[in-house]
């Protein structure tokens, strides 16, 4: 065999690895075949113990949940004001309407409901028995006596627990009767209970997925159960493993009197059954594994040669494919390089241009032949040679830099660029790789933006209306001088304050929140300045910076309209005085057309306001037109006219 042949070398390595793997597998199977049976059983015993503890916790949680539920319902009834009043007054009409065992059973699932007064005397009580208990006393005396003993303990707070009765295990809750506030002198005691049968037992079984076995007073424990009960403390549990397939788990519980009783449940098919079967299957599985290993070894020998041949062919195809992909990748890179929007070029440390993409020389107005091989200084503005040397020093020190520069076109014009330069190794020689982006338009846009910002800043600062800029939470970020004048404060007292605190309790808070949610809003309201003691009538319009965006910054226009609203109020007062004046008052324009008359004018002449307004007073006078013109000329000169005139009423009479 030719050891220099790569295929032979690969074959030798494959055989060696194959025998190593086979030896390891056979060793593992041998260890598995002789694994101690007791170790497997111990592991499954641990799993079974863990499963039992989990089921015991589930049963405890289910019983506690039912106890808490009964306590809540019992406390709601005991703290009902009507129950409290009933215990005080012993109103039989209340008990006949509200205390019916059928209704209590249907709405609360109570099987027992007993109400005592403060003297421990039973006022009302009833018990609901199951169908199997129908032949027993409807209200067992022994049960009442036991509950009476519990009530006589004078509980000052709610208690709950279990009681064994002839009718089965019962969950009891005893609660003092108090007003709905839960405070005050207890007027009695309410005892409620539920048997662990029917609905309650079904509910617990559904929650735990276990079949619970519950005792009653007439139960007789077996010798095994008695022995278990003597060895268990309250809330402990024990497994009766005499039944291998379905062992029983016993739980010790304690009733109201401190006596223990047992609750049991049957475990599902025990884990130990599976453990025993698993131990029995180990040896059989080992034999099967060894057989499969022999089959696998024979299969490997059969397919080994064909696999090697196929692998060699696949490697040849893969090499060809990778070579083609590499060629295509180089072509894609060249296309990206030449068609990039930015100028890409390399320069050696002597500033000679080694390579460049199309965009580099075309945007400067050169051909590739004119550009490549030239000194970089030829493409910079005059006087830039020193900066070229400084650029080289920075690149050598920092390896990668970014800066703004100017390039000179072939026609002499200047191009503003942002250049990223990086030091690289190319064919064992250091070169500087550069990417230059045309930022001429960006610079023009920045200049235009700065000019626009100055204009808007001038408008902002000189506006006759107060302007304020806030973030979405109400924090004041900026304000103009007019706002400071309105507020009577300095800039340091305004910036950083929250307008929601300043305007708290006013309608301005709501319109700010609306604007911060993306919708403009305005409002007028009188506010009181606690610092200066002044009252302002403010008109504020809040507008979102970004319409429809939630949240968004807000711009506010604030105007003090106190003088305007005061003038409007004075005008309303003057109008009211003229309207209610008993003297006839009329107002005309300069063309002598009536613009206004008060109610006294209407009452005197009999004309309606609609008939008078817009008319010439000459229509209602008795004197000649020339006299009327003389009167009007006197008024137009600004003189005051006094005299007596006769006017005609609508009815034709004179006044």
Residue 624 has a pLDDT of: 61
Which of 373-377, 461-465, 501-505, 624-628 shows the lowest mean pLDDT across its residues? Answer: 624-628
Q: Point out the least confidently predicted range of 117-126, 470-479, 506-515, 615-624.
A: 615-624
pTM (2 decimals)? 0.39
Dihedral angle sign, alpha carbons of residues 41, 43, 47, 49: positive
Residue 94 pLDDT greater than 60, yes or no: yes
Assign 432 to helix, strand or coil: strand
d(CA 197, CA 132): 11
Residue 134 pLDDT class (50, 70, 90 cuts): very low
pLDDT-wise least confident of 9-18, 365-374, 613-622: 9-18
Q: Output the pLDDT for position 301.
A: 64
User: In this structure, how many other beta carbons lie within 10 angstroms of the beta carbon of residue 157?
Assistant: 8
For 192, the 3-state DSSP assignment is strand
Tell me the pLDDT band of 235, cut-offs 50, 70 and 90.
low
b (16+ CB within 10 A) / e for 498-534: ebbebbeebebbebbbbbbbbbebebeeebeeeeeee
The per-residue pLDDT for 136 is 44
Per-residue pLDDT at 644? 72
Cα separation, 123 vs 533, whole angstroms: 68
Average pLDDT over residues 351-357: 88
Stretch 242-260: mean pLDDT: 76
Cβ neighbours of 348 (radius 10 Å): 14
Backbone angles phi, psi at 332, to 5 degrees: -65, -40
Find out whether 376 and 347 touch, Cβ atoms under 8 Å: yes
Highest mean pLDDT among 1-10, 20-29, 385-394: 385-394
Mean pLDDT of the chain: 78
Among 249-258, 264-273, 348-357, 566-575, the least confident range? 264-273
Burial tier of 125 (Cβ tally within 10 Å: 0-12, 13-18, 19+): middle
Q: What is the pLDDT of residue 575?
A: 76
Instruction: Indicate if the pLDDT at residue 564 is higher than 70.
Output: yes
Lowest mean pLDDT among 48-62, 208-222, 606-620: 208-222
**Contact, 480 vs 461, CB < 8 A?**
yes
Strands 521-528 and 535-544: antiparallel
Q: How confident is the model at residue 362 (pLDDT cuts 50, 70, 90)?
A: confident
Instruction: With a cut of 50, say whether residue 638 has pLDDT above it.
Output: yes
CA distance 385 to 209: 90
At 221-234, the pLDDT tens digits run 677 677 777 777 76
CA 558 vs. chain centroid, Å, equals 35
Q: Phi and psi (nearest 5°) for 292?
A: -65, -35
User: Within 160-222, where are the H helices?
Assistant: 198-208
In angstroms, rounded to a whole number, what is the distance separating the alpha carbons of residues 626 and 616? 14
User: Which among 293, 64, 84 is positioned nearest to 189, based on CA atoms?
Assistant: 84
Q: Which residues contact 180 (CB under 8 A, 6 or more apart)?
A: 79, 80, 81, 84
Q: What is the pLDDT of residues 391-418, one digit of tens each?
A: 888 989 998 998 888 888 888 888 888 8
Helix (H, G, I), strand (E, B) or coil at 651: coil
Backbone angles phi, psi at 594, to 5 degrees: -65, 130
Helices (H), 421-498: 440-462, 481-487, 491-494
Which residues have a Cβ under 8 Å from the Cβ of 40 and sit 6 or more positions away? 275, 278, 279, 282
Q: Which residue has the higher pLDDT, 429 or 246?
A: 429
Q: pLDDT grade, residue 431 (50/70/90)?
A: very high
- Rounded Cα gap, residues 184 and 205, in angstroms: 40
H, E, C per residue of 292-340: HHHHHHHHHHHHHHHHHHHHHHHHHHHHHHHHHHHHHHHHHHHHHHHHC
Of 42-51, 57-66, 293-302, the least confident: 293-302
Q: Per-residue confidence at 340, pLDDT binned at 50, 70, 90?
A: confident
Max mean pLDDT range (218-227, 231-240, 336-345, 630-639): 336-345
Is the confidence at residue 1, as pLDDT, over 50? no
């Amino acid at each position: 065999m030719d050891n220099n042949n790569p295929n032979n070398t690969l074959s030798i390595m494959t055989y060696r690895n194959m025998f190593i793997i086979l030896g390891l597998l056979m060793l593992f199977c041998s260890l598995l075949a002789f694994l101690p049976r007791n170790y497997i059983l111990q592991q499954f015993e641990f799993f079974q113990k863990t499963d039992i503890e989990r089921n015991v916790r589930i049963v405890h949680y289910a019983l506690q949940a039912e106890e808490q539920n009964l306590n809540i319902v019992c406390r709601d009834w005991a703290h009902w004001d009507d129950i409290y009043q009933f215990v005080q007054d012993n109103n039989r009409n209340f008990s006949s309407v509200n205390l019916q065992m059928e209704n209590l059973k249907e709405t609360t699932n109570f099987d027992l409901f007993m109400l005592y007064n403060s003297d421990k005397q039973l006022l009302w009580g009833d018990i609901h028995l199951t169908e199997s208990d129908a032949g027993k006393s409807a209200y067992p005396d022994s049960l009442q006596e036991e509950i009476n003993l519990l009530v006589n303990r004078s509980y000052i707070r709610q208690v709950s627990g279990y009681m064994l009765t002839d009718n089965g295990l019962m969950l009891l809750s005893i609660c003092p009767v108090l007003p709905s506030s839960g405070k005050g002198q207890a007027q009695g005691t309410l005892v409620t209970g539920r048997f662990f049968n029917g609905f309650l037992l079904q509910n617990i079984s559904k929650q735990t997925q276990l079949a619970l076995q519950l005792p009653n007073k007439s139960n007789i424990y077996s010798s095994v159960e008695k022995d278990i009960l003597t060895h268990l403390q309250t809330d402990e549990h024990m497994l009766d493993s005499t039944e291998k397939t379905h062992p029983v788990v016993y739980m010790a519980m304690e009733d109201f009197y401190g006596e223990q009783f047992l609750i049991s449940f049957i475990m599902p098919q025990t884990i130990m059954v599976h453990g025993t079967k698993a131990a029995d299957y180990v040896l059989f599985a080992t034999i099967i594994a060894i057989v499969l290993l022999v089959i696998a070894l024979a299969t490997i020998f059969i397919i080994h040669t064909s696999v090697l041949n196929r692998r060699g062919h696949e490697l040849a195809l893969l090499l060809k494919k990778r070579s083609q992909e590499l060629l295509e990748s180089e072509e894609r890179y060249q296309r990206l390089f030449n068609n990039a929007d930015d100028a890409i070029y390399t320069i050696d440390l002597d500033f000679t241009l080694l390579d460049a993409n199309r965009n580099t020389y075309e945007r400067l107005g050169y051909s590739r032949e004119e550009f490549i091989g030239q000194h970089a200084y030829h493409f910079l503005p005059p006087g830039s040679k020193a900066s070229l040397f400084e650029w080289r020093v920075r690149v050598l020190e920092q390896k990668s830099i970014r800066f703004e520069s100017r390039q000179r076109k072939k026609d002499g014009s200047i191009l503003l660029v942002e250049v990223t330069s990086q030091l690289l190794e190319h064919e064992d020689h250091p070169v500087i790789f550069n990417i230059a982006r045309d930022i001429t338009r960006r610079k023009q846009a920045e200049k235009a933006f700065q000019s626009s910002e100055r204009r808007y800043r001038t408008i902002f600062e000189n506006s006759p209306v107060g302007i304020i800029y806030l973030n979405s939470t109400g924090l004041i970020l900026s304000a103009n001088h007019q706002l400071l004048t309105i507020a009577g404060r300095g800039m340091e007292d305004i910036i950083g304050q929250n307008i929601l605190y300043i305007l708290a309790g006013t309608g301005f808070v709501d319109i700010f929140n609306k604007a911060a949610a993306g919708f403009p809003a305005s409002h007028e309201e009188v506010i009181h300045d606690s610092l200066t003691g002044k009252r302002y009538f403010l008109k504020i319009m809040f507008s979102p910076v970004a319409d429809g965006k939630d949240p968004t910054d807000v711009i506010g226009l604030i105007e003090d309209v106190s003088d305007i609203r005061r003038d409007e109020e004075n005008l309303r007062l003057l109008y009211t005085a003229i309207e209610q004046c008993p003297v006839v008052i009329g107002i005309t324009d300069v063309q002598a057309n009536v613009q206004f008359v008060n109610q006294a004018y209407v009452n005197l002449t009999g004309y309606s306001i609609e008939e008078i307004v817009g008319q010439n007073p000459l229509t209602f006078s008795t004197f000649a037109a020339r006299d009327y013109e003389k009167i009007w000329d006197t008024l137009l000169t600004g003189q005051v006219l006094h005299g007596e005139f006769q006017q005609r009423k609508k009815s034709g009479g004179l006044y």
